[in-house]
Amino acid sequence: MNLERFTLIVESYGADFEQWPEDERVDALKFSRTSTDAMFLLDQAEELDRHLALFELPDSELSVQRIEVGILSAFEQETLKQGALERLVGWVLPDFDNLAHTLWRPALVACMPLLLGIAIGLTLANNTYQLSSDEELSLLAFTDTASEEWSNE
Amino acid sequence: MVEENDRRVIEQLLAGSEPAFRQIFDQHSQRIFKYVRRMTRSVTEAEDIVQETFIRFWVSRDRFDPGRVKLTTWLHRIARNLCVDYFRQRQRQEKQGPVQSDNQDSPDADYELSARAAVVHKALMALSERQRSAIVLCHYQNFSQTDAAHILDLSVDALESLLRRGRSKLKQILAKELE
């Protein structure tokens, strides 16, 4: 240990020898007791350590409680999302031990596009534009007149 | 690396046990909160970051290797990374326009910083994030050089250099503010 290394240690870790690097601690401590320069450095570092000690924080039960509530709430939301998805997948997938009674579920899911197509088709069929009888007559008349005119010519 | 008492809890946690997670939260939350509180401006910011720290820890618990790193070091590393993300996000917001001030402690905070503690906190906040983190980890959280360097993803020499520059800057600021 020399003054240069001791200066680096004290300027980096402060005057508390417990915070010094473990492998150099004993040597540095011995050095601090023999060198007046080292003692001066320690006094200077102690002043900053005292200032830093002013910012000691007590335990904050209230903050930890709020954090805990936040975590629980996040977990519950995640569990609910996961739960709904897992329940749906579990319902759809057939139970191989009871295949005869559960096979209809994936079959139903597979038929869903077909059922959806039928439903859409029926809805569109009901909504087709219905011509009134007058409109139909005029269309027929126009067609007949036109065809007669063409045939006369 | 892991004490025998903790080993069982960690094994249970890795297997997905929520009671084990709760036990770890009870053991480590105060210490993590104090680290983050010293790194951030307010109690509210610190609470949000600590909450996210434990959620991330739970979600990515399979990445934690108790044979390689201590649990407390791992948790501090997650917290530190979230602090860095938070500061980056805040910096981006500040560039875009004025940010609503959030540096007041919530009114129901169960402690108030004394005037002198607030001066030290302000001085710490004047340091770079890495200098501040190095000082908080070594001085307040009592981490060894190796563990602090691991949390900051640095070599021990680089950590020492950060600490020296940080303490020097703090000394200058506090000499003016506290004398």
CATH of residue B33: 1.10.1740.10
Question: What's the pLDDT band for B4 if we cut at 50, 70, 90?
Answer: low
Tokens 């200032």 -> residue: A51
CA distance A22 to chain B (A): 8
Residues B118 and B46 in one domain: no
Please identify, among B104, B134, B150, the residue that sits at the C-terminal boundary of a domain. Answer: B104
**Alpha-carbon torsion, ordered A99, A100, A101, A103, to 10 deg:** 60
- Residue B111, pLDDT > 70, answer no
Is A59 near chain B, with CB under 8 Å?
yes
What predicted TM-score, i.e. pTM, was given to this entire model? 0.72
Please identify, among B37, B71, B104, the residue that sits at the C-terminal boundary of a domain. Answer: B104
Residues B68 and B3 in one domain: yes
State the Cα–Cα distance between residues B136 and B128, nearest whole angstrom: 12
pLDDT along chain A (153 residues), means of 10: 91 92 91 89 92 88 92 79 68 72 82 90 73 73 59 60
B136 secondary structure, DSSP code: I
Residues B81 and B117 in one domain: no
Instruction: List CB contacts (< 8 A) between B49 and chain A.
Output: none
State the Cα–Cα distance between residues B123 and B117, nearest whole angstrom: 10
CA distance A36 to chain B (A): 21
- Give the total number of structural domains in chain B: 2
Instruction: List CB contacts (< 8 A) between A73 and chain B.
Output: none
- Residue B23, pLDDT > 90, answer yes
> Which value does ipTM take for this structure?
0.81
Residues shown for chain A: 153
Which chain B residue is nearest to residue A48, measuring alpha carbons?
B171
Tokens 């897992």 -> residue: A86
State the Cα–Cα distance between residues B113 and B37, nearest whole angstrom: 11
pLDDT in tens, B29-64: 999 999 999 999 889 999 999 999 999 999 888 889
Residues B87 and B159 in one domain: no
Range of the domain at B135: 113-179
| Burial class of residue A74 (count of CB atoms within 10 Å of its CB; 0-12, 13-18, 19+) | middle
Instruction: List CB contacts (< 8 A) between A23 and chain B.
Output: none
CATH of residue B126: 1.10.10.10
Is B173 near chain A, with CB under 8 Å?
no
pLDDT value, residue B172: 92
Residues B52 and B94 in one domain: yes
Residues B31 and B68 in one domain: yes
Residues B81 and B29 in one domain: yes
Q: What is the rounded average pLDDT of the residues B135-156?
A: 94
Tell me if A31 sits within 8 A of A38, measured CB to CB: yes
Residue of B174, B176, B179 best to disrupt the A interface, most CBs of A under 10 A: B174
pLDDT value, residue A11: 94
Residues B177 and B95 in one domain: no
